[in-house]
Each structure stands twice: as C-alpha cells, then as structure tokens.
A and B are shown apart, each in its own frame.
Chain A
Amino acid sequence: MQQRNRLEPYFENLVFERDDNHMVINFGPQHPSAHGQLRLILEMDGEQVAKAWPDIGYLHRGMEKMAENMIYNEFLPTTDRMDYIAATSNNYAFALAVERLLGIEDKVPRRAKVIRMILLELNRIISHLFWLATHALDVGAMSVFLYCFREREYAMDLMEDYCGARLTHSAVRIGGVPLDLPEGWLERLNWFLNILPEQIELYEGLLSENRIWRMRLENVGVIPPEMAKQWACSGIMLRGSGIPYDIRKEEPYELYDEVDFDVPVSETCDSYGRYKLYMEEMRQSIRIIRQLIPMYKETEPQLLAHVPEYISAHKEDIMTQNYSLMQHFVLVTQGMRPPVGEVYVPTESPKGELGFYIRSEGEPYPYRMKIRAPSFWHTGILQDLLPGHYLADVVTIIGSTNIVFGEIDR
C-alpha cells in the first residue's frame, strides 16, 4: 500500500490508541541501543512485552541489485559495507563464492590462505570486542566500552598496516590477497596476541561475577534449541543454545581443518551463556592465529592464483609480456566470465553463517546474487524472543543477538 501523505507518520496495521490496558511503544529506528536502524514496535502489558514486531529496511541500499550491474571484482568493495564491523569476513565470503564458481578454489596459493585466515580471525576478535563494548554500554557498563575500544584500536592498527583502511578493508581479492604482510607485522601481531588474553581476563573480572551484569543477563533472552533451529540461527546464537555447529568444523574452508581449535558451546541458552561464548571464541581466535604464524613462514611468496583467464597475471608479467597485458586489459574492462552455473558457499562470519548465492549465466555480471546474512534471522527471532520480557531487557536481548543493520537490509 502506498503512503498517502509522506509527512504523516504511517504505521502498518497499527493502532496506537487502544481501549485495553496494552500500550504500543515505538522503539527506533533511531535509537542509540538499536544497533543501527532497527525499529521495534512493542505492545506492552504494563512493564512486560506482550508482542513485538521488528521492522527492518531502514538501511536497505539495494546491494543485491547493485551486484547485478557490476563485474565481480567491482562488487568486492561493496561487501565491506555489509557487516562493517568485520569487513574482511564479507570480502572473504564473497571471494570464496566466486572462487568456487570459477573452480579455482584449490589454486589459491597457500600463503594467501594463511594471510586470509589471520585476517579473518583478527576480524573475529575485532567484532567480538566491539560486541562486548556496545553490549556492555547498553546494559550500563561504560568502562567496559572504553577498555574494549582500547584493545580494538590495536587490532584496527594491524588491519590498517596491512590494507590501509580501518573499517572498510577490501583486504581479500578473488583468487588470493593483494599484498604480502608488511615488514614487522607479525611481531606487532604477536605483541597484540600477547596482551589480549590479559585484557579478556580484565573484562571478565569486571563482568562475569558482577551482580548487576548477572542479574541483567542470566535467564534473559532464553532461546531453546528447537526455537534456535526453527529460526535458522547460526553462529553464537545457535551454539549458545547447546547445538555444537560451526561451519569452520562442519564444512572446513581454507586451512581450518589444519589448525586446532575448539568450538565452545553453552547449555544455558541465555544471554549470559552467549556472553561467555564470545569471550571463549576470542581466546580460540588467538589460538588459531598463533598456529598460523609459523605456517606463514613456511609458505612460498605467491599471493594470487595463477589462472590467466580469470585473474590478471603478476604485475611483472603484465609489464613484460604482451599477451598478459591483453588479458589484463580484457579482465579490467570487461570482467571475468565465469561458467554458467550457480553456487552457494557458507562461511562462519563472526555473527554466524554468512553465505553468498551466485547464479551465473556466463556473463561478467552475476544474474542474481543472494546474500544470506546471519543477522537477518537473528532479528526475526526477536518477535518470538521478546514477549514475556521486561522493557529493560529488550535492550539486553538486542545487544546479545549481535545484529548489524548493514547486513540485514543490505
């Protein structure tokens, strides 16, 4: 239905004036703890939520449509703006989907794989630190926010040293990575990995046994395992409900089958259990990166896959060989032409299962691209999760779902 007068507020099938004791509250879309532009319409029975409607679309920028008019390499920077807290995990999920479509997944050089994995896990740490910072801020612990951002800046510095950007990295290319690690980067990474566990203990010391924190998180936002499955939860939302499912273990991509790490699972199903999981996942990420550093040193220096029909040759070849230059010209002006087919590749982003579905008709542009973003499902669950909770817990639950709106609305 079209809106009649754009200046008048318009609410779908919603009556604010009611005769019974229920009250309808509009939460968002511009609310400091809505984690972006979530609009919740809450029907309140006293202090308790009787019904909740999450309303999304306030950050819909038409990314999937944009993808249909862009060559594959062109779309990669756009994926940065989806889950902007951990941009590399989006870049990577997209690059992996295209690589599998092209059938060049095995040709990605080992060094590129190691660098990608270091970046992915670093992004997981950045994302989890950011989650803890904002979640604690929403619940009322301001100092945790400041502490978390302090450590997050160190990780951002590492990302900046590698790719030059703090937030929108574009640090992965289809077929590999654009750059080798800069000099001294691994030492700085090591330093960061050494200070981080102490800091995680500091956060836990501030929060885990804190009475207010426990009262606000324990038994709040309980997701039973059946509900988690029904709503297609993934990532920590699923593991917080006692289901040990991690795509890094189930369908290992990159070198995840070569490194040792545990998948923490919580049986409590509540926000507190999920908070514990986030802390544990950061430790596991540190553990993974520690294993990757010696692996990096054993690899050959090649960074991009050698597939001349899809990926430009090395700069030196382009400058010296005519045919490479011609191919590079075609790849830049027209774009690569993947074979006809479709592919769906799931990856474990910090938020959950992030997958790209690409349908190719053999043209340089995808015929259709569907992005399966975890936050979308985690927003949907709010309508089942919120009823019965108090209004003050709504903020806790939104924080605990760790949703990002760039990813939901795309």
Chain B
Amino acid sequence: MAQHQVNYAASGGLPVALTTVDKLVNWGRTNSLWVLTYGLACCAIEMMASGASRYDFDRFGVIFRASPRQADVMIVAGTLTKKHAEFIRRLYDQMAEPKWVISMGSCANTGGMFNTYATVQGVDRVIPVDIYLPGCAPRPETLQYAVMLLQKQIRKRSIFQKPKPKRLV
C-alpha cells in the first residue's frame, strides 16, 4: 500500500508513509468485509463451514453479521423462491452503501436444478450481483476465492468516481 519513497533517516526519522486516499480507503474496505449471512439452503452449510474452524474466514476480515445495517457484502447462499424474493430485495435495500453481492451456488446464479414454478431463476433478477460463484454446493475454498476476487474488484475502484449504477439482469 504505502509508497516508500521517503528516506526516513534523511528526513529526520519522521514516521511518514505516502499513499493515495483511494488506496487507503480500499485497503480498509477490502480487509473488513462484513458479511450478511443470507443462508437460504444447502450452500448456507458450506458458508458456515467456511466460517468455522478449518477454513477460518476471519483471516480475511470477513465476519458474519446478522443485520443488514452492519454488513457490506451479502452472500446469497441457496435457492431463492418467489415467496422469499421480496424479502431479499428489502434486506438488500436496507444495507448501507457501498455494498456488494456474492451469489453462491447454482441455485442463486441461475435457479440451478430447480427449474420449477416456485423458484426464482437467479437472484440477479431481484438484486444486482457482483460475483457469481459456481458449484452445487461450492466448497468453502471456492467461497474464499470469491471473496478474494471481490477484494480485487474493490481495489480497482476509485472513491472519487461515482460508481456505475448496478443493473438487474
């Protein structure tokens, strides 16, 4: 992060580190992605497993929150049904900007194997999605990789530019 262009010894040993505001803010954002647990079905179990002892999501600064007001990322883990669709939209709207969405598993991406009258064929019909994560159910490593990709995406963002409005599919 820091651009070590200052010779500390030469400038009287001042503890100065130069950086840009973008980098500083993005550094903070990427390393404390608090996640809204949106466990809907099977993938929720893998999401819990990635938060538990072996996979230890806390290393990424990912802490599961139960409230949308405290969360930055929504991990939609599982099948979204038409009966539930309005709730996911409401919780998404309750999250504070900046916010991101990871769609975890085939059901959340496209409806997966459940091409029926009851299932929403992909959460991107209801809320905008940043990262699609394939698998049925994806392994915890896959979820962690998705979070790393999201961090990469966030690092590219400048805080002075207005982000492009996210669109539904």
What is A's interface to B at a CB cutoff of 8 Å?
6-7, 29-32, 36-37, 57-63, 65-66, 77-78, 80-81, 84-85, 130, 133-134, 145-147, 149-150, 152-153, 156, 166-168, 405-406
* CB-CB nearest 4 A-B residue pairs: A149-B52, A62-B116, A84-B42, A32-B66
Chain A residues with CB below 8 A from B118, complex form: 60-62
Most central of B45, B64, B88, B117 by chain A CB within 10 Å: B45
Contact B41 A167 (CB under 8 A): no
Given contacts A32-B66, A149-B54, contact A57 B83 (CB under 8 A): yes
Contact partner of A60 (CB less than 8 A), chosen from B52, B81, B87, B88, is B81
Closest to A143 in B: B53
Interface string of B33-76 (1 = CB under 8 A from A): 00001111110111011001110000000001010000000000
Contact A32 B42 (CB under 8 A): no
Given contacts A32-B66, A153-B53, contact A58 B42 (CB under 8 A): no
Chain A residues with CB below 8 A from B87, complex form: 29-30
Chain A residues with CB below 8 A from B54, complex form: 149-150, 153
Contact partner of A166 (CB less than 8 A), chosen from B37, B52, B139, is B139
Tell me if B22 counts as interface (CB < 8 A to partner A). no
Contact B114 A61 (CB under 8 A): yes
For the A-B complex with A62-B116, A85-B45 known, give 5 more contacts whose Cβ atoms are closer than 8 Å: A30-B88, A32-B37, A81-B41, A153-B49, A166-B46
Nearest-CB distance from A269 to chain B (Å)? 29
Most central of A37, A146, A152 by chain B CB within 10 Å: A37
Contact A30 B38 (CB under 8 A): yes
Nearest-CB distance from B133 to chain A (Å)? 14
Interface string of B18-43 (1 = CB under 8 A from A): 00000000000000000001111110
Interface residues contributed by chain B, number (CB under 8 Å): 34
Q: How many A-B residue pairs have CB under 8 A?
A: 95
Contact A66 B114 (CB under 8 A): yes
Chain B residues with CB below 8 A from A29, complex form: 84, 87
A121 to B169, CA, bound (A): 44
Tell me if B104 counts as interface (CB < 8 A to partner A). no
Nearest-CB distance from B57 to chain A (Å)? 12
Closest to A83 in B: B42
Contact B137 A36 (CB under 8 A): no
A36 to B75, CA, bound (A): 14
Contact B41 A84 (CB under 8 A): yes
Closest to A166 in B: B139
Tell me if B159 counts as interface (CB < 8 A to partner A). no
6 of the cross-chain contacts (CB-CB < 8 Å) are: A37-B40, A59-B81, A81-B113, A84-B45, A85-B45, A153-B49
Contact B46 A405 (CB under 8 A): no
Tell me if B91 counts as interface (CB < 8 A to partner A). yes
Nearest-CB distance from B13 to chain A (Å)? 44
Contact B116 A36 (CB under 8 A): no
Chain B residues with CB below 8 A from A37, complex form: 40, 84
Chain B residues with CB below 8 A from A6, complex form: 86
Given contacts A58-B83, A78-B113, contact A405 B41 (CB under 8 A): yes
A237 to B52, CA, bound (A): 27
Given contacts A36-B40, A36-B41, A167-B46, contact A61 B137 (CB under 8 A): no
Nearest-CB distance from B67 to chain A (Å)? 9
Chain B residues with CB below 8 A from A60, complex form: 81, 83, 118
A188 to B53, CA, bound (A): 20
A410 to B91, CA, bound (A): 24
Nearest-CB distance from B71 to chain A (Å)? 12
Contact A36 B44 (CB under 8 A): yes
Nearest-CB distance from A56 to chain B (Å)? 10
Chain B residues with CB below 8 A from A150, complex form: 52-54
Tell me if B136 counts as interface (CB < 8 A to partner A). yes
Given contacts A37-B84, A153-B49, contact A66 B79 (CB under 8 A): no
Contact B40 A146 (CB under 8 A): no
Tell me if B119 counts as interface (CB < 8 A to partner A). yes
Contact B83 A77 (CB under 8 A): no
A237 to B89, CA, bound (A): 36
Chain B residues with CB below 8 A from A145, complex form: 52
Chain B residues with CB below 8 A from A149, complex form: 48-49, 52-54
Given contacts A153-B53, A168-B42, contact A62 B83 (CB under 8 A): no
Contact A62 B119 (CB under 8 A): yes
A168 to B113, CA, bound (A): 13
Nearest-CB distance from B100 to chain A (Å)? 18
Contact partner of A81 (CB less than 8 A), chosen from B42, B64, B66, is B42
Contact partner of B52 (CB less than 8 A), chosen from A80, A146, A167, A406, is A146
A77 to B113, CA, bound (A): 10
A335 to B88, CA, bound (A): 39
Most central of A57, A60, A65 by chain B CB within 10 Å: A60
A334 to B90, CA, bound (A): 45
A65 to B117, CA, bound (A): 10
Contact B86 A7 (CB under 8 A): yes
Nearest-CB distance from B49 to chain A (Å)? 6
A108 to B69, CA, bound (A): 55
Contact A166 B137 (CB under 8 A): yes
Chain B residues with CB below 8 A from A166, complex form: 46, 137, 139
Interface string of B119-136 (1 = CB under 8 A from A): 100000000000000001
Chain A residues with CB below 8 A from B45, complex form: 84-85, 130, 167
